[in-house]
Chain A
Amino acid sequence: MSVLLENLGKRFGDGAPVLDGVNASIGAGEFVALLGASGCGKSTLLNIIAGLERPSSGALEVPADGAAFMFQDAALYPWLTARGNVELALKLRGVGKAERRARATELLDLVHLGEAADKRPHELSGGMRQRVALARALSQDREVLLMDEPFAALDAITRDLLHDELTRIWRETNRTIIFVTHNVREAVRLGQRVLLLSSRPGRVVSEWAVPGAVKDDAAAAAALTADITARLREEIRRHGK
Protein backbone atom coordinates (compact mmCIF):
# COMPACT_ATOMS: atom_id res chain seq x y z
CA MET A 1 0.00 0.00 0.00
CA SER A 2 1.40 3.33 -0.99
CA VAL A 3 -0.89 5.92 0.56
CA LEU A 4 -3.32 5.17 3.35
CA LEU A 5 -5.76 7.75 4.76
CA GLU A 6 -7.72 6.86 7.87
CA ASN A 7 -10.47 9.09 9.18
CA LEU A 8 -8.52 12.11 8.13
CA GLY A 9 -9.93 15.47 9.23
CA LYS A 10 -8.78 19.04 8.87
CA ARG A 11 -10.14 22.33 10.11
CA PHE A 12 -8.50 25.73 10.10
CA GLY A 13 -8.87 27.54 13.41
CA ASP A 14 -12.47 27.47 14.64
CA GLY A 15 -13.95 27.27 11.14
CA ALA A 16 -16.08 24.48 9.75
CA PRO A 17 -14.07 21.35 8.93
CA VAL A 18 -12.60 21.31 5.43
CA LEU A 19 -12.04 17.58 5.48
CA ASP A 20 -13.91 15.19 7.71
CA GLY A 21 -13.38 11.44 7.95
CA VAL A 22 -11.54 10.90 4.67
CA ASN A 23 -10.79 7.23 4.12
CA ALA A 24 -8.86 5.94 1.14
CA SER A 25 -6.15 3.48 0.34
CA ILE A 26 -4.11 3.83 -2.79
CA GLY A 27 -1.92 1.02 -3.99
CA ALA A 28 1.65 1.30 -5.24
CA GLY A 29 1.72 2.11 -8.95
CA GLU A 30 -1.96 2.96 -9.01
CA PHE A 31 -3.44 5.89 -10.91
CA VAL A 32 -6.28 7.41 -8.88
CA ALA A 33 -8.42 10.34 -9.97
CA LEU A 34 -9.79 12.45 -7.15
CA LEU A 35 -12.98 14.11 -8.33
CA GLY A 36 -14.91 16.85 -6.61
CA ALA A 37 -16.72 20.14 -6.99
CA SER A 38 -15.38 23.37 -5.52
CA GLY A 39 -14.97 23.41 -1.77
CA CYS A 40 -14.23 19.71 -1.41
CA GLY A 41 -10.83 20.41 0.10
CA LYS A 42 -8.92 18.73 -2.73
CA SER A 43 -5.94 21.02 -2.43
CA THR A 44 -5.88 20.71 1.36
CA LEU A 45 -5.93 16.93 1.03
CA LEU A 46 -3.01 16.99 -1.40
CA ASN A 47 -1.08 19.36 0.86
CA ILE A 48 -1.58 16.95 3.75
CA ILE A 49 -0.42 13.98 1.69
CA ALA A 50 2.60 16.01 0.53
CA GLY A 51 3.41 16.84 4.14
CA LEU A 52 2.92 20.59 3.67
CA GLU A 53 0.08 20.66 6.19
CA ARG A 54 -0.79 18.54 9.19
CA PRO A 55 -4.18 16.89 9.57
CA SER A 56 -6.27 17.96 12.59
CA SER A 57 -7.39 14.40 13.21
CA GLY A 58 -7.00 10.89 11.84
CA ALA A 59 -3.93 9.15 10.55
CA LEU A 60 -2.12 8.84 7.27
CA GLU A 61 0.57 6.64 5.91
CA VAL A 62 2.74 7.89 3.07
CA PRO A 63 6.13 6.78 1.75
CA ALA A 64 8.89 8.15 3.96
CA ASP A 65 10.43 10.27 1.22
CA GLY A 66 7.23 12.26 0.75
CA ALA A 67 5.61 13.01 -2.57
CA ALA A 68 6.33 15.03 -5.70
CA PHE A 69 3.85 17.77 -6.51
CA MET A 70 2.58 19.30 -9.72
CA PHE A 71 0.37 22.39 -9.72
CA GLN A 72 -2.25 23.82 -12.05
CA ASP A 73 0.20 26.58 -12.87
CA ALA A 74 3.47 25.23 -14.26
CA ALA A 75 5.23 27.59 -11.82
CA LEU A 76 8.52 27.42 -13.68
CA TYR A 77 11.21 29.91 -12.74
CA PRO A 78 11.35 32.44 -15.60
CA TRP A 79 15.06 33.18 -15.21
CA LEU A 80 16.01 29.55 -15.89
CA THR A 81 15.79 27.53 -19.10
CA ALA A 82 13.64 24.41 -19.24
CA ARG A 83 16.72 22.36 -18.42
CA GLY A 84 17.75 24.83 -15.70
CA ASN A 85 14.39 24.39 -13.99
CA VAL A 86 14.75 20.63 -13.92
CA GLU A 87 18.39 20.92 -12.84
CA LEU A 88 17.50 23.21 -9.95
CA ALA A 89 15.09 20.58 -8.63
CA LEU A 90 17.86 17.99 -8.85
CA LYS A 91 20.28 20.36 -7.16
CA LEU A 92 17.91 20.93 -4.26
CA ARG A 93 17.79 17.15 -3.91
CA GLY A 94 21.56 17.10 -3.64
CA VAL A 95 22.36 15.50 -6.99
CA GLY A 96 25.93 16.18 -8.18
CA LYS A 97 26.60 18.61 -10.99
CA ALA A 98 27.64 16.21 -13.75
CA GLU A 99 24.78 13.84 -13.04
CA ARG A 100 22.30 16.72 -12.90
CA ARG A 101 22.84 17.62 -16.51
CA ALA A 102 22.54 14.08 -17.80
CA ARG A 103 19.46 13.37 -15.69
CA ALA A 104 17.73 16.63 -16.72
CA THR A 105 18.33 15.83 -20.40
CA GLU A 106 16.94 12.35 -19.85
CA LEU A 107 13.80 13.67 -18.12
CA LEU A 108 13.16 16.31 -20.78
CA ASP A 109 13.52 13.59 -23.40
CA LEU A 110 10.96 11.56 -21.50
CA VAL A 111 8.40 14.37 -21.87
CA HIS A 112 9.49 14.84 -25.51
CA LEU A 113 11.06 18.23 -24.91
CA GLY A 114 14.68 17.34 -25.62
CA GLU A 115 14.91 19.97 -28.32
CA ALA A 116 13.39 22.78 -26.25
CA ALA A 117 15.73 22.23 -23.31
CA ASP A 118 17.49 25.54 -23.74
CA LYS A 119 14.36 27.63 -24.13
CA ARG A 120 13.04 29.82 -21.37
CA PRO A 121 9.51 29.42 -20.00
CA HIS A 122 8.16 32.47 -21.85
CA GLU A 123 9.22 30.91 -25.15
CA LEU A 124 7.22 27.75 -24.44
CA SER A 125 3.51 27.12 -24.94
CA GLY A 126 1.28 26.30 -21.96
CA GLY A 127 1.36 22.58 -22.74
CA MET A 128 5.15 22.58 -23.07
CA ARG A 129 5.48 24.38 -19.75
CA GLN A 130 3.32 21.77 -18.05
CA ARG A 131 5.53 19.06 -19.53
CA VAL A 132 8.61 20.78 -18.12
CA ALA A 133 6.79 20.96 -14.77
CA LEU A 134 6.07 17.23 -15.10
CA ALA A 135 9.75 16.53 -15.81
CA ARG A 136 10.64 18.62 -12.77
CA ALA A 137 8.17 16.70 -10.59
CA LEU A 138 9.56 13.39 -11.88
CA SER A 139 13.09 14.57 -11.12
CA GLN A 140 12.27 14.26 -7.45
CA ASP A 141 12.30 10.52 -7.91
CA ARG A 142 9.55 9.90 -5.40
CA GLU A 143 7.16 7.06 -5.57
CA VAL A 144 4.04 9.21 -5.28
CA LEU A 145 3.16 12.00 -7.69
CA LEU A 146 0.42 14.41 -6.65
CA MET A 147 -1.19 16.42 -9.43
CA ASP A 148 -3.49 19.34 -8.63
CA GLU A 149 -5.58 19.99 -11.76
CA PRO A 150 -2.44 20.22 -13.87
CA PHE A 151 -4.20 20.47 -17.22
CA ALA A 152 -7.15 22.67 -16.22
CA ALA A 153 -5.79 25.81 -17.87
CA LEU A 154 -4.88 24.19 -21.21
CA ASP A 155 -6.82 24.18 -24.46
CA ALA A 156 -8.72 21.01 -25.37
CA ILE A 157 -6.33 19.77 -28.06
CA THR A 158 -3.29 20.13 -25.82
CA ARG A 159 -5.05 18.58 -22.86
CA ASP A 160 -6.10 15.62 -24.96
CA LEU A 161 -2.51 15.07 -26.02
CA LEU A 162 -1.18 15.45 -22.48
CA HIS A 163 -3.62 12.77 -21.29
CA ASP A 164 -1.94 10.31 -23.66
CA GLU A 165 1.44 11.61 -22.63
CA LEU A 166 0.76 11.26 -18.91
CA THR A 167 -0.61 7.74 -19.37
CA ARG A 168 2.53 6.76 -21.26
CA ILE A 169 4.84 8.28 -18.64
CA TRP A 170 2.91 6.65 -15.83
CA ARG A 171 3.40 3.29 -17.49
CA GLU A 172 7.08 3.91 -18.13
CA THR A 173 7.90 5.16 -14.64
CA ASN A 174 5.60 3.06 -12.47
CA ARG A 175 4.65 5.98 -10.23
CA THR A 176 1.66 6.14 -7.95
CA ILE A 177 -0.36 9.08 -9.22
CA ILE A 178 -3.08 10.95 -7.35
CA PHE A 179 -4.71 13.25 -9.86
CA VAL A 180 -7.14 15.92 -8.67
CA THR A 181 -9.66 17.19 -11.20
CA HIS A 182 -13.20 18.48 -11.47
CA ASN A 183 -13.55 17.17 -14.98
CA VAL A 184 -15.43 13.87 -14.96
CA ARG A 185 -14.32 12.89 -18.46
CA GLU A 186 -10.70 13.52 -17.54
CA ALA A 187 -11.07 11.41 -14.39
CA VAL A 188 -12.54 8.48 -16.35
CA ARG A 189 -9.95 8.75 -19.07
CA LEU A 190 -6.95 8.81 -16.75
CA GLY A 191 -7.81 7.04 -13.52
CA GLN A 192 -7.87 3.33 -12.85
CA ARG A 193 -10.13 4.33 -10.01
CA VAL A 194 -12.22 7.48 -9.52
CA LEU A 195 -12.89 8.71 -5.99
CA LEU A 196 -15.66 11.25 -5.53
CA LEU A 197 -15.19 13.78 -2.75
CA SER A 198 -18.16 15.55 -1.21
CA SER A 199 -17.96 19.28 -0.54
CA ARG A 200 -17.90 21.06 2.82
CA PRO A 201 -16.69 18.97 4.47
CA GLY A 202 -14.69 16.87 2.03
CA ARG A 203 -15.14 13.12 2.38
CA VAL A 204 -14.87 10.20 -0.03
CA VAL A 205 -18.52 9.41 -0.81
CA SER A 206 -18.28 7.16 -3.85
CA GLU A 207 -15.77 5.26 -5.84
CA TRP A 208 -15.69 3.63 -9.27
CA ALA A 209 -13.21 1.29 -10.87
CA VAL A 210 -12.41 2.14 -14.48
CA PRO A 211 -11.19 -1.06 -16.12
CA GLY A 212 -9.22 -0.85 -19.35
CA ALA A 213 -12.12 -2.39 -21.22
CA VAL A 214 -14.32 0.57 -20.26
CA LYS A 215 -11.73 3.14 -21.32
CA ASP A 216 -11.40 1.34 -24.61
CA ASP A 217 -15.12 1.24 -25.33
CA ALA A 218 -16.42 4.72 -26.07
CA ALA A 219 -20.01 3.81 -25.22
CA ALA A 220 -19.10 2.20 -21.91
CA ALA A 221 -16.88 5.14 -20.99
CA ALA A 222 -19.67 7.57 -21.81
CA ALA A 223 -22.12 5.58 -19.70
CA LEU A 224 -19.73 5.58 -16.75
CA THR A 225 -19.09 9.32 -17.20
CA ALA A 226 -22.83 9.97 -17.15
CA ASP A 227 -23.19 7.84 -14.07
CA ILE A 228 -20.46 9.67 -12.19
CA THR A 229 -21.74 13.06 -13.36
CA ALA A 230 -25.21 12.24 -12.00
CA ARG A 231 -23.73 11.32 -8.62
CA LEU A 232 -21.58 14.49 -8.60
CA ARG A 233 -24.61 16.67 -9.39
CA GLU A 234 -26.58 15.03 -6.63
CA GLU A 235 -23.76 15.93 -4.27
CA ILE A 236 -23.74 19.54 -5.49
CA ARG A 237 -27.53 19.86 -5.33
CA ARG A 238 -27.41 18.95 -1.65
CA HIS A 239 -25.81 22.35 -0.96
CA GLY A 240 -28.59 24.45 -2.57
CA LYS A 241 -31.32 25.58 -0.22
Chain B
Amino acid sequence: MASNVTELEPGAHAAGTTRTETEDLRALEAGLDELQSEAAHRRRDWGRVALPLGAVVVVLLVWQIVASLGLKRQDLMPGPLDVAASLAQLWREGQVQEAIVTSLTRGLLGFAVSIVIGTPLGLLLAQVRPLRRAFGPLISGLQVLPSVAWVPAAIIWFGLTDGTVYFVVLMGAIPSIVNGLIAGVDQIPPHYRSVAKVLGASRLELALQVVLPAALPGYVAGLKQGWAFSWRSLMAAEIIAVGGSLGFGLGSLLDQGRTLSDMGIVMGAIIAILAVGILIELLVFGPVERRLLRRRGLLAGATR
Protein backbone atom coordinates (compact mmCIF):
# COMPACT_ATOMS: atom_id res chain seq x y z
CA MET B 1 0.00 0.00 0.00
CA ALA B 2 2.73 2.41 1.04
CA SER B 3 4.30 2.67 -2.37
CA ASN B 4 1.31 4.06 -4.18
CA VAL B 5 -0.24 6.45 -1.71
CA THR B 6 2.42 9.02 -2.43
CA GLU B 7 1.04 9.37 -5.93
CA LEU B 8 -2.21 10.85 -4.72
CA GLU B 9 -1.57 14.12 -6.47
CA PRO B 10 -3.63 15.46 -9.33
CA GLY B 11 -2.30 14.44 -12.70
CA ALA B 12 -0.84 11.24 -11.39
CA HIS B 13 -4.25 9.58 -11.28
CA ALA B 14 -4.06 6.67 -13.64
CA ALA B 15 -0.56 5.66 -12.76
CA GLY B 16 -1.48 5.16 -9.10
CA THR B 17 -2.63 1.68 -8.36
CA THR B 18 -0.66 -1.27 -9.57
CA ARG B 19 -2.42 -4.30 -10.92
CA THR B 20 -1.72 -6.52 -7.96
CA GLU B 21 -3.12 -3.99 -5.55
CA THR B 22 -6.37 -3.79 -7.48
CA GLU B 23 -6.50 -7.58 -7.41
CA ASP B 24 -5.75 -7.49 -3.72
CA LEU B 25 -8.61 -5.06 -3.10
CA ARG B 26 -10.93 -7.14 -5.23
CA ALA B 27 -10.11 -10.31 -3.26
CA LEU B 28 -10.58 -8.49 0.03
CA GLU B 29 -13.94 -7.16 -1.08
CA ALA B 30 -15.08 -10.52 -2.36
CA GLY B 31 -14.29 -12.01 1.06
CA LEU B 32 -16.17 -9.29 2.92
CA ASP B 33 -19.13 -9.50 0.53
CA GLU B 34 -19.30 -13.24 1.13
CA LEU B 35 -19.16 -12.80 4.91
CA GLN B 36 -21.86 -10.14 4.89
CA SER B 37 -24.30 -11.84 2.54
CA GLU B 38 -26.77 -14.35 3.78
CA ALA B 39 -27.40 -17.36 1.62
CA ALA B 40 -31.00 -17.44 0.56
CA HIS B 41 -32.59 -20.81 1.07
CA ARG B 42 -35.92 -21.94 -0.21
CA ARG B 43 -37.49 -25.30 0.21
CA ARG B 44 -40.69 -26.97 -0.80
CA ASP B 45 -43.28 -26.02 1.81
CA TRP B 46 -45.94 -28.69 2.01
CA GLY B 47 -47.64 -26.92 4.90
CA ARG B 48 -48.90 -24.39 2.38
CA VAL B 49 -51.05 -27.10 0.78
CA ALA B 50 -51.73 -29.42 3.67
CA LEU B 51 -52.84 -26.87 6.27
CA PRO B 52 -55.64 -25.16 4.27
CA LEU B 53 -56.88 -28.55 3.07
CA GLY B 54 -56.93 -29.74 6.65
CA ALA B 55 -58.88 -26.64 7.68
CA VAL B 56 -61.51 -27.36 4.99
CA VAL B 57 -61.84 -30.96 6.20
CA VAL B 58 -62.33 -29.75 9.78
CA VAL B 59 -65.06 -27.29 8.72
CA LEU B 60 -66.85 -29.98 6.67
CA LEU B 61 -66.66 -32.42 9.61
CA VAL B 62 -68.13 -29.87 12.04
CA TRP B 63 -70.87 -29.05 9.52
CA GLN B 64 -71.71 -32.74 9.06
CA ILE B 65 -71.82 -33.32 12.81
CA VAL B 66 -74.09 -30.32 13.41
CA ALA B 67 -76.37 -31.38 10.53
CA SER B 68 -76.64 -34.95 11.80
CA LEU B 69 -77.60 -33.76 15.30
CA GLY B 70 -81.03 -33.16 13.74
CA LEU B 71 -81.65 -29.72 15.30
CA LYS B 72 -83.62 -28.71 12.20
CA ARG B 73 -85.41 -30.54 9.41
CA GLN B 74 -82.95 -32.03 6.95
CA ASP B 75 -84.36 -30.08 3.98
CA LEU B 76 -83.83 -26.83 5.90
CA MET B 77 -80.38 -27.69 7.12
CA PRO B 78 -78.68 -30.08 4.74
CA GLY B 79 -75.28 -31.58 5.56
CA PRO B 80 -72.27 -31.42 3.27
CA LEU B 81 -73.16 -34.77 1.74
CA ASP B 82 -76.69 -33.59 0.81
CA VAL B 83 -75.29 -30.40 -0.72
CA ALA B 84 -72.71 -32.42 -2.65
CA ALA B 85 -75.58 -34.53 -4.02
CA SER B 86 -77.46 -31.37 -5.08
CA LEU B 87 -74.37 -29.98 -6.75
CA ALA B 88 -73.79 -33.26 -8.58
CA GLN B 89 -77.38 -33.15 -9.83
CA LEU B 90 -76.97 -29.54 -11.02
CA TRP B 91 -73.68 -30.51 -12.67
CA ARG B 92 -75.36 -33.32 -14.61
CA GLU B 93 -77.98 -30.83 -15.80
CA GLY B 94 -75.18 -28.49 -16.82
CA GLN B 95 -76.52 -25.61 -14.74
CA VAL B 96 -73.49 -25.07 -12.45
CA GLN B 97 -71.06 -25.03 -15.35
CA GLU B 98 -73.21 -22.53 -17.24
CA ALA B 99 -73.63 -20.32 -14.16
CA ILE B 100 -69.90 -20.37 -13.32
CA VAL B 101 -68.85 -19.59 -16.89
CA THR B 102 -71.39 -16.76 -17.20
CA SER B 103 -70.50 -15.15 -13.88
CA LEU B 104 -66.75 -15.61 -14.25
CA THR B 105 -66.78 -14.10 -17.74
CA ARG B 106 -68.71 -11.08 -16.50
CA GLY B 107 -66.57 -10.75 -13.39
CA LEU B 108 -63.26 -10.95 -15.23
CA LEU B 109 -64.36 -8.67 -18.06
CA GLY B 110 -65.75 -6.09 -15.65
CA PHE B 111 -62.61 -6.34 -13.54
CA ALA B 112 -60.36 -5.90 -16.56
CA VAL B 113 -62.26 -2.76 -17.59
CA SER B 114 -62.01 -1.51 -13.99
CA ILE B 115 -58.22 -1.93 -14.07
CA VAL B 116 -57.96 -0.05 -17.34
CA ILE B 117 -60.01 2.83 -15.94
CA GLY B 118 -58.82 2.71 -12.32
CA THR B 119 -55.05 2.63 -12.90
CA PRO B 120 -54.55 5.91 -14.80
CA LEU B 121 -57.18 7.52 -12.59
CA GLY B 122 -55.38 6.42 -9.43
CA LEU B 123 -51.98 7.47 -10.73
CA LEU B 124 -53.32 10.87 -11.76
CA LEU B 125 -55.01 11.43 -8.41
CA ALA B 126 -51.92 10.31 -6.48
CA GLN B 127 -49.52 12.51 -8.44
CA VAL B 128 -51.49 15.73 -8.94
CA ARG B 129 -52.17 17.47 -5.67
CA PRO B 130 -55.23 19.63 -6.59
CA LEU B 131 -56.96 16.64 -8.20
CA ARG B 132 -56.22 14.53 -5.16
CA ARG B 133 -57.59 17.14 -2.79
CA ALA B 134 -60.68 17.67 -4.90
CA PHE B 135 -61.66 14.10 -5.77
CA GLY B 136 -59.91 12.03 -3.08
CA PRO B 137 -62.74 12.19 -0.50
CA LEU B 138 -65.32 11.46 -3.19
CA ILE B 139 -63.50 8.31 -4.31
CA SER B 140 -63.01 7.17 -0.70
CA GLY B 141 -66.72 7.76 -0.16
CA LEU B 142 -67.62 5.69 -3.19
CA GLN B 143 -65.62 2.84 -1.70
CA VAL B 144 -67.77 2.92 1.42
CA LEU B 145 -71.00 2.94 -0.57
CA PRO B 146 -72.01 -0.67 -1.24
CA SER B 147 -72.19 -0.95 -5.01
CA VAL B 148 -75.46 -2.92 -4.70
CA ALA B 149 -76.98 0.47 -3.99
CA TRP B 150 -76.46 1.19 -7.70
CA VAL B 151 -78.59 -1.78 -8.82
CA PRO B 152 -81.94 0.07 -8.82
CA ALA B 153 -80.45 3.01 -10.71
CA ALA B 154 -78.74 0.68 -13.15
CA ILE B 155 -81.96 -1.23 -13.83
CA ILE B 156 -83.74 2.05 -14.57
CA TRP B 157 -80.94 3.14 -16.90
CA PHE B 158 -79.99 -0.10 -18.61
CA GLY B 159 -82.99 -2.36 -17.97
CA LEU B 160 -82.45 -6.07 -17.43
CA THR B 161 -79.38 -6.26 -19.65
CA ASP B 162 -75.71 -7.06 -19.11
CA GLY B 163 -75.17 -3.30 -18.95
CA THR B 164 -76.73 -3.27 -15.48
CA VAL B 165 -74.41 -5.99 -14.24
CA TYR B 166 -71.27 -4.38 -15.66
CA PHE B 167 -72.19 -0.95 -14.30
CA VAL B 168 -72.53 -2.35 -10.80
CA VAL B 169 -69.25 -4.26 -11.10
CA LEU B 170 -67.39 -1.13 -12.24
CA MET B 171 -68.82 0.99 -9.44
CA GLY B 172 -67.61 -1.65 -6.98
CA ALA B 173 -64.13 -2.25 -8.34
CA ILE B 174 -62.87 1.10 -9.61
CA PRO B 175 -62.87 2.98 -6.27
CA SER B 176 -61.00 0.08 -4.62
CA ILE B 177 -58.35 0.02 -7.31
CA VAL B 178 -57.95 3.81 -7.23
CA ASN B 179 -57.71 3.85 -3.44
CA GLY B 180 -55.25 0.96 -3.36
CA LEU B 181 -53.00 2.70 -5.84
CA ILE B 182 -53.18 6.00 -3.92
CA ALA B 183 -52.36 4.22 -0.65
CA GLY B 184 -49.44 2.50 -2.37
CA VAL B 185 -48.12 5.80 -3.72
CA ASP B 186 -48.49 7.48 -0.31
CA GLN B 187 -46.22 4.86 1.24
CA ILE B 188 -43.33 5.42 -1.16
CA PRO B 189 -40.24 6.58 0.77
CA PRO B 190 -39.54 10.20 -0.23
CA HIS B 191 -35.95 9.48 -1.25
CA TYR B 192 -37.16 7.28 -4.14
CA ARG B 193 -38.44 10.46 -5.75
CA SER B 194 -35.41 12.58 -4.96
CA VAL B 195 -33.11 9.95 -6.43
CA ALA B 196 -35.22 9.86 -9.59
CA LYS B 197 -35.02 13.64 -9.81
CA VAL B 198 -31.24 13.61 -9.38
CA LEU B 199 -31.06 10.98 -12.12
CA GLY B 200 -32.96 13.34 -14.39
CA ALA B 201 -36.39 11.69 -14.59
CA SER B 202 -39.20 13.68 -16.19
CA ARG B 203 -42.63 13.79 -14.56
CA LEU B 204 -43.97 11.00 -16.74
CA GLU B 205 -40.82 8.90 -16.30
CA LEU B 206 -41.06 9.45 -12.55
CA ALA B 207 -44.66 8.19 -12.57
CA LEU B 208 -44.09 5.16 -14.79
CA GLN B 209 -40.54 4.09 -13.90
CA VAL B 210 -40.47 4.83 -10.20
CA VAL B 211 -43.83 5.63 -8.64
CA LEU B 212 -45.84 2.82 -10.23
CA PRO B 213 -43.36 0.01 -9.48
CA ALA B 214 -42.71 1.40 -6.00
CA ALA B 215 -46.45 1.44 -5.31
CA LEU B 216 -46.95 -2.06 -6.69
CA PRO B 217 -47.58 -3.83 -3.37
CA GLY B 218 -50.34 -1.35 -2.48
CA TYR B 219 -51.65 -1.48 -6.03
CA VAL B 220 -51.91 -5.27 -5.96
CA ALA B 221 -53.68 -5.09 -2.59
CA GLY B 222 -56.11 -2.64 -4.22
CA LEU B 223 -56.61 -4.98 -7.18
CA LYS B 224 -57.30 -7.84 -4.81
CA GLN B 225 -59.91 -5.83 -2.99
CA GLY B 226 -61.25 -4.56 -6.30
CA TRP B 227 -61.72 -8.13 -7.48
CA ALA B 228 -63.49 -9.05 -4.23
CA PHE B 229 -65.77 -6.05 -4.61
CA SER B 230 -66.57 -6.78 -8.24
CA TRP B 231 -67.28 -10.44 -7.49
CA ARG B 232 -69.54 -9.52 -4.57
CA SER B 233 -71.43 -6.81 -6.40
CA LEU B 234 -71.77 -9.08 -9.40
CA MET B 235 -73.47 -11.70 -7.23
CA ALA B 236 -75.73 -9.07 -5.67
CA ALA B 237 -76.69 -7.72 -9.09
CA GLU B 238 -77.39 -11.22 -10.39
CA ILE B 239 -79.62 -12.01 -7.43
CA ILE B 240 -81.62 -8.80 -7.77
CA ALA B 241 -81.77 -8.48 -11.55
CA VAL B 242 -83.11 -11.71 -12.99
CA GLY B 243 -84.70 -12.25 -16.40
CA GLY B 244 -84.68 -10.00 -19.46
CA SER B 245 -81.68 -10.53 -21.69
CA LEU B 246 -79.57 -11.38 -18.63
CA GLY B 247 -77.74 -14.67 -18.80
CA PHE B 248 -77.87 -17.30 -16.06
CA GLY B 249 -75.12 -16.65 -13.49
CA LEU B 250 -74.28 -18.00 -10.05
CA GLY B 251 -76.42 -15.29 -8.45
CA SER B 252 -79.32 -16.35 -10.65
CA LEU B 253 -78.78 -19.95 -9.53
CA LEU B 254 -78.89 -18.81 -5.91
CA ASP B 255 -82.12 -16.92 -6.56
CA GLN B 256 -83.57 -19.97 -8.30
CA GLY B 257 -82.83 -22.08 -5.22
CA ARG B 258 -84.63 -19.55 -3.07
CA THR B 259 -87.68 -19.53 -5.37
CA LEU B 260 -87.80 -23.31 -5.26
CA SER B 261 -87.15 -23.33 -1.50
CA ASP B 262 -84.39 -25.84 -2.26
CA MET B 263 -81.68 -25.45 0.40
CA GLY B 264 -79.46 -27.89 -1.49
CA ILE B 265 -79.33 -25.56 -4.50
CA VAL B 266 -78.89 -22.50 -2.28
CA MET B 267 -75.99 -24.00 -0.34
CA GLY B 268 -74.54 -25.46 -3.53
CA ALA B 269 -74.58 -22.02 -5.20
CA ILE B 270 -72.99 -20.41 -2.14
CA ILE B 271 -70.21 -22.99 -2.18
CA ALA B 272 -69.66 -22.46 -5.90
CA ILE B 273 -69.41 -18.68 -5.38
CA LEU B 274 -66.98 -19.21 -2.52
CA ALA B 275 -64.95 -21.75 -4.48
CA VAL B 276 -64.46 -19.36 -7.41
CA GLY B 277 -63.31 -16.65 -5.01
CA ILE B 278 -60.87 -18.97 -3.27
CA LEU B 279 -59.50 -20.32 -6.55
CA ILE B 280 -58.83 -16.83 -7.90
CA GLU B 281 -57.02 -15.95 -4.67
CA LEU B 282 -54.98 -19.17 -4.72
CA LEU B 283 -54.14 -19.15 -8.40
CA VAL B 284 -53.77 -15.43 -9.14
CA PHE B 285 -53.39 -13.02 -6.25
CA GLY B 286 -51.59 -15.29 -3.77
CA PRO B 287 -48.68 -16.17 -6.06
CA VAL B 288 -48.41 -12.63 -7.49
CA GLU B 289 -48.30 -11.09 -4.03
CA ARG B 290 -45.83 -13.61 -2.65
CA ARG B 291 -43.52 -13.16 -5.62
CA LEU B 292 -43.70 -9.38 -5.29
CA LEU B 293 -42.85 -9.42 -1.60
CA ARG B 294 -40.14 -12.04 -1.93
CA ARG B 295 -38.37 -10.09 -4.65
CA ARG B 296 -38.31 -7.05 -2.42
CA GLY B 297 -37.12 -9.02 0.59
CA LEU B 298 -40.33 -8.37 2.53
CA LEU B 299 -41.36 -11.98 3.05
CA ALA B 300 -38.82 -13.09 5.66
CA GLY B 301 -40.52 -13.86 8.97
CA ALA B 302 -44.00 -13.35 7.53
CA THR B 303 -46.68 -15.89 8.35
CA ARG B 304 -47.84 -16.14 4.76
- Contacts A77-B213, A79-B214, A216-B2 supplied; 20 other A-B pairs, CB < 8 Å: A73-B191, A77-B192, A78-B295, A88-B209, A92-B196, A92-B201, A122-B296, A124-B37, A128-B36, A128-B37, A140-B199, A140-B200, A158-B32, A161-B25, A161-B28, A161-B32, A171-B16, A172-B13, A172-B17, A212-B6
Closest to B38 in A: A123
**Quick one: CB contact mask for B29-67 with A, threshold 8 Å, 1 for yes?**
110110011101000000000000000000000000000
- The listed residue with most B CB atoms (<10 A of its CB), out of A112, A124, A157, is A112
Contact of A98 with B by CB under 8 A:
no
**How many inter-chain residue pairs (CB < 8 Å) link A and B?**
115
B223-252 contacts to A, CB under 8 A, are: none
Closest chain B residue to A215 by CB distance? B5
Contact at A71–B8, with CB atoms within 8 Å?
no
Neighbouring B residues of A88 by C-beta, 8 Å: 199, 209
A-B contact pairs, 10 of them (CB 8 A): A71-B195, A88-B199, A88-B209, A124-B37, A171-B14, A171-B16, A172-B14, A211-B9, A215-B8, A216-B6
Cα-based distance from A161 to B1 in the complex (angstroms)? 13
In the complex, chain A residues whose CB is within 8 Å of the CB of B38: 123
B216 CB-CB contact with A under 8 Å = yes
Asked if A128 and B296 sit within 8 Å, CB to CB, the answer is: no
Query: How far apart are A178's CB and chain B's nearest CB, in angstroms?
Result: 14
Nearest-neighbour CB distance to chain B for A190, whole angstroms, equals: 10
Q: Which residues of A contact B11 (CB under 8 A)?
A: 29
When chains A and B are docked, how far (Å) is the Cα of A23 from the Cα of B154? 70
Assess whether B191 is in contact with A71, with CB atoms less than 8 Å apart.
Answer: yes
A7 CA / B222 CA spacing, docked (Å): 52
The distance from the CB of A18 to the nearest CB of chain B, in whole angstroms, is 18
Complex: how many Å from CA A50 to CA B195? 12
Q: Tell me the complex Cα distance, A71–B196, Å.
A: 12
Tell me if A77 and B210 are in contact (CB < 8 A). yes
Residue of A with least CB distance to B299: A122
Given contacts A71-B195, A88-B199, contact A112 B26 (CB under 8 A): yes
User: A92-B199, A212-B5 are known contacts. Are A171 and B13 too (CB-CB below 8 A)?
Assistant: yes
Residues of B within 8 A of A91 (CB): 209
Q: Is B75 an interface residue (CB 8 A)?
A: no
Contact across chains for A78 and B296 when beta carbons are under 8 A apart: yes
- What string of 1s and 0s marks CB contacts (under 8 Å) between B197-223 and chain A? 111110001000110011010000000
Residues A120 and B29 in contact in the complex (CB < 8 Å), given A29-B13, A77-B192, A192-B8: no
Query: Is B94 close to A, CB under 8 A?
Result: no
B186 interface residue, CB < 8 Å from A? no
Cα–Cα, bound, A62→B50 (Å):
64
How far is the CB of B47 from the nearest CB of chain A, in Å?
Answer: 24
Chain B 64-75 interface mask (CB, 8 Å, partner A; 1/0): 000000000000
Interchain nearest-CB distance for A116 vs B (Å): 7
The distance from the CB of B90 to the nearest CB of chain A, in whole angstroms, is: 45
Please tell me which one of the listed residues A27, A158, A212 contacts residue B8 in the complex, with CB atoms under 8 A apart: A212
Asked if A121 is at the interface of the complex by the 8 Å CB criterion, the answer is yes
A69, CB-defined interface residue at 8 Å: yes
B-side contacts of A172, CB under 8 Å: 13-14, 17
Is A75 interfacial (CB 8 A cutoff)? yes
Cα-based distance from A223 to B239 in the complex (angstroms): 86
A196 to chain B, nearest CB (A): 20
A231 within 8 A of B: no
* CB contact list, B7-24 vs A, under 8 A: 7-11, 13-14, 16-17, 22
Docked complex Cα distance between A126 and B210 (Å): 22
Least CB distance from A164 to B in Å reads: 6
Instruction: Give the residues in chain B near A69, CB-CB below 8 Å.
Output: 198
Partner of B198, one of A50, A121, A168: A50
User: What's the least CB distance linking B211 to chain A, in Å?
Assistant: 11
| CB nearest to B14 among chain A residues | A171
In the complex, which residues of chain B have a beta carbon less than 8 angstroms from the beta carbon of A93? Answer: 199-200
